[in-house]
Amino acid sequence: MLDSFVFSLNATLPVFLLILVGMLLRRIGIFTEEYAAMTDRFVFKIALPVLLFKDISGMSLRDDFDGGFVIFCAVASVLMFLVPWGFAALFMKNKGSVGAFSQGCARGSAAVLGVALAENICGSAGMAPIMIFAAVPIFNILSVVILSFSAEGQEKKPGVGELLKNIVTNPIIWGVLLGLPFSFFDVSLPHIAQSAVGSIASTATPLALMAIGASFDFGAAKGKFVPAAVASFVKLILLPAAVIPVAAALGFRDSALVSVFIMVGAPTTVAAYIMAKNMKNDHVLSSNIVMLSTLLSSVTITFWVFLMRYLGFI
């Protein structure tokens, strides 16, 4: 239990340090609002797609491929997005925040933390790459769909053609899709290309987090605390409580169940902020959800791992 808590802290505390660095750099004038906006665009169009390509293309899927597990992860991923979206559309007074809230409830750090967290809990990656294969493309496609409905200045519902255009032209989705054939067929890039890809990918998370800090507005953030807290509760408590028992009842154990937990219980990814801002959604709410869910996840991850071990599931 202590090992899980220490690992969670090691994974989450650097997130806050980088956000604080961004705040400091903005305060002393090194980062400007324009620079933060340019950084967001670079991360959205280049660094984050390259990071997802690198992470997904570097996995091996063929040996442990399980069709039933893939179907379960895919169905759970769809429901994770659609159910919060439906409730948010019905009950949120600020309709401009529906997309950011819904994405924040569902879109975890599966691609970034998935393999590392599985290795820490189980000793090996296990089924985590299969979960990433099943869930991450759906995460990104549904994020585009949901954010398209809530975009600033969106006076009418987007049509099918507009949704397809937003999906096809989204660079993050291209990063995911281009990585899948490399992963499934165990194809590796030449060493020089791998090195270049790795260098670009390594900039995605720190730049995105510092951009959050540089553009963070405490005054605006205060008004978003309640929806951010609700989204964090859904992400870290409600979704695992709903999905893990179903997965356990279907017979998933050990690394498979841990992978399901990572899919539903990991904190909201920084990609949620990047996509919300670049698709003209409520990025202030998104940044709040990223920070709050990350802060609380060190406790909730430890709790869920302890509970699954206590029940003999892992």
What averages of pLDDT result for each successive group of 10 residues across the chain (314 residues)?
70 82 93 89 92 85 83 97 95 90 93 72 78 90 93 76 91 91 88 95 91 84 91 97 97 92 92 92 93 89 89 88
pLDDT at residue 233, as a whole number: 98
What are the domain boundaries of the chain? 2-310
Helix, strand, coil shares, percent, the chain, to 5: 80, 0, 20
Quick one: pLDDT at residue 155?
65
The β-bridge partners of 108 are 268
- pLDDT attached to residue 154: 66
Look at residue 123 in the predicted model and tell me its pLDDT: 74
Quickly tell me which residue has 């709790």 as its tokens. 303
Query: How long is the chain?
Result: 314
Beta bridge partners of 276: none
> Residue 186, SS3?
coil
CATH number for the domain whose boundaries are 2-310: 1.20.1530.20
User: Which pLDDT score, from 0 to 100, does residue 93 have?
Assistant: 85
pLDDT at 175: 92
CA dihedral in degrees (93, 99, 102, 105; nearest 10)? -110
Rg over alpha carbons for the chain, rounded to the nearest Å, is 18
Which of 300, 236, 8 has the alpha carbon at shortest distance from 104?
236
Kindly report whether the global pTM for this prediction surpasses the value 0.75. yes
